[in-house]
Amino acid sequence: MYKPLPNYLTVRNSKIEGLGLFATQIIQKGTDLGISHIPDEDYENDYIRTPLGGFLNHSNNPNVIKMDEVDPDTLSAMGRLHLIAMRDIMDGEEITVKYTLYDVGS
């Protein structure tokens, strides 16, 4: 059965903007939530957003960071961006990231 999000995440209305990603249980610091963006020059900003990336909202004080996936054999960046928890995220808390691929206001 296809599940676009991990069991510990859901999509619901956000106080920041539209819909957002929310934790349904405590997520520990360092957890890899999965791939949020996949490189593809045919799309805006040269990335396809996965369900994780499609519902992320911006924060200047985010709880996750985008990290480039590294090929274990060559140690070179692969361009697929993963979301990594920068601190423990509480049940019910919105998952936020500092936008670096898109234009946002301050």
Cα separation of the two ends of the chain: 40
Q: Is the pTM above the cut of 0.95? A: no
What would the pLDDT profile of 37-95 be if each residue is shown by its tens digit? 888 888 877 888 898 989 999 999 999 998 887 766 666 667 788 999 999 999 999 99
CB 25 within 8 A of CB 31: no
Is the model's pLDDT at 106 over the cut of 70? Answer: no
Residue of 93, 73, 80, 98 lying closest to 14 (CA atoms)? 93
What's the pLDDT tens digit per position in 17-28?
Answer: 999 999 999 999
* Domains detected in the chain: 9-97 (2.170.270.10)
